[in-house]
Structure 1
Amino acid sequence: MTQLPVTEPPHESRVWFVTGASRGLGYAFTEAALAAGDRVVATARDVAALEARAAAHDGRLLALPLDVTRREDVHGAVERATAAFGRIDVVVNNAGQLLFGMVEETTEEQARHHLDTNFFGALWVTQAVLPVLRAQGSGHILQVTVAGAGGGSAATGLYGAGKAALNALSEALAEEVEPFGIKVTLLEPGPYDTGLGHHGLTATEPDPAYDGPRAALEASWADSPPPPSPALAAAVVLEVVGMDDPPRRLVLGAAAYDEAVAEQRERADAYTEWASLSRQGG
């Protein structure tokens, strides 16, 4: 990657690099940053909606088409971002998709394509921005995972696996880049009204053997309350990027927080229940 000149940021103005910015959380993060007076490089496979908004923001919004699974294209987008605005202060790895289906039903092509976007895409963006952030001696990377990442749920096993892998990678990353003045926050959102279950959904070919479990799952989701607006999450993220000492992990959403804490307690209880057997191992 070509080393580009790094400039000091204008007073109280940050430069954001947001992936998956054309809808949902990414779009909400972009709008919140612009409303705060910041500049945004907003990337997505289809940037038509973003280009339509660019004229209203006096050159503070740069929309770049980007498929995060293409590593060379990611580096090119980061170079264009720094050429346009001189620096990058906030990186939001938000691009993602949902693969719905049982583990046994998932094809090799589906599994690889899913992880190429949800895990490797975030890795390529992280690698591309790090030289810029290290040269600045500052920056904040926000990795969008999911509430309760680290565990798995029926019918979304590959989705959970990708988010758990990103969690583990980001924990290591935070330790590695802290000496350079770079901060890392793992954002763990619950369900939001993002359209991911429609526009970003890929489904497996249903195996009739799983008709019963699938029907039970769908019945359990029938009474779920309507998801909140992504704008609520964006307001919290705007507060987080303004902190001198931001959280390493942050669950987004009240219900998601309660569920994540309950899951952690259940896991701790399970460890305790089998403690005597664990200790037999040496």
Structure 2
Amino acid sequence: MTTAKAWFITGASRGLGRAFTEAALAAGDRVVAVARNIDPLEDLAAAYPEALVRFPLDVADRRAVFEGVQQAFAAFGRLDIVVNNAGGLLYGMVEEATEEQIRAHLDVNFFGAVWVSQAAVPHLRAQGAGRILQVTSMGSAGGMATVGFYGAGKVALDSLSEALAMEVERFGIKVTIVEMGGYATGLFTAGTTATEPLPQYDALRTELEEMWGDESGPDPSTAAPVIMELATLPDPPRRLIIGSRSYDQVREIDQTRIGQYQAWEHLSRMAPG
């Protein structure tokens, strides 16, 4: 008989967070689901009154995160899987973004995951086991115009998570960087903050919109089975790309980057360091 796992999922009210919450509950697991607005979770609360605990949480508020994580552990007596999924999109060119927009974006997309990780690690260490899934993006493989700050936050979380994984592995805690592909999560609608566009970038903006097209991507529920299987692996990968098309795109980006390194190897080797 498989023991039910206890999950803590941020950004659980929509998109990928909602899909992961539904999948875990359907598998017989228990979930603490948090988001700024938890009203969309009412139907799941009615369907799983014993297995779902939900409460509002702003991950940008460090004190609230520590209190929320403590509440989550108290709810089920342990947590097995912590999913840092909460995030949004700052859409616009680097020059266009205000300081307020940039700081607010990174407060959620980067620092929010930092606060949750800091709050969860002592509990996971005390129980001698646990998983932290850091939801980043296949886009963190390289920067892209108009979503530079989104990519920057994900790259920062990538790097920090590599360090965290090394630091906590000896305590029985496994960290996986989950590089999500493009799914229909509402990120470009409900989750978007837009800059005030400068006319100097109109042509580039039009080119990008034509290149991306109107395709919103597959339903987030199609990614949930991967997360469920990942959660059961005794020795999970440090990084995992989720999405077949995204896997191919990331490989292409990496191969292009290697080609650039090789093309300029002679210049790199001019310095002894």
TM range (shorter): over 0.9
Number of matched residues?
A: 272
8 Å CA contact 2:141–2:253 kept in 1: the answer is: no
- SS of match in other structure, 1:55: helix
- Look up the match of 1:4: none
8 Å CA contact 1:101–1:155 kept in 2: the answer is: yes
Alpha-carbon distance in 2 for matches of 1:218, 1:228: 19
- Look up the match of 1:246: 236
- Look up the match of 1:7: none
Q: 1:51-86: per-residue Cα shift (whole Å, max 9, x none)?
A: 332121141000110000001111111111111100
8 Å CA contact 2:141–2:250 kept in 1: the answer is: no
- Look up the match of 1:274: 264
Determine which of 108, 113, 120 is the counterpart of 1:129: 120
Alpha-carbon distance in 2 for matches of 1:208, 1:186: 37
Q: Runs of 5+ in structure 2 lacking a partner?
A: none
Aligned positions of 1:115-154 closer than 5 A: 115-154=106-145
TM-score normalised according to structure 2 size = 0.97
- SS of match in other structure, 2:209: helix
Alpha-carbon distance in 2 for matches of 1:274, 1:143: 34
- Does 1:189 pair with 2:180? yes
Give the % identical residues: 57
Determine which of 18, 24, 27 is the counterpart of 1:36: 27
Determine which of 249, 263, 269 is the counterpart of 1:259: 249
- SS of match in other structure, 1:149: helix
Aligned positions of 1:99-110 closer than 5 A: 99-110=90-101
Alpha-carbon distance in 2 for matches of 1:207, 1:148: 24
Aligned positions of 1:165-176 closer than 5 A: 165-176=156-167
Determine which of 96, 100, 112 is the counterpart of 2:103: 112
**Deviates most, 213-222 or 28-37:** 213-222
- SS of match in other structure, 2:144: coil
Determine which of 220, 224, 235 is the counterpart of 2:225: 235
Runs of 4+ in 1 over 4 A off after TM superposition: none
Q: CA RMSD in A?
A: 1.1
- Look up the match of 2:80: 89
8 Å CA contact 2:136–2:179 kept in 1: the answer is: yes
Determine which of 201, 205, 211 is the counterpart of 1:220: 211
- Look up the match of 1:52: 43
8 Å CA contact 1:51–1:63 kept in 2: the answer is: no
CA positional deviation for 1:138: 0.3
TM-score normalised according to structure 1 size = 0.94
- Look up the match of 2:191: 200
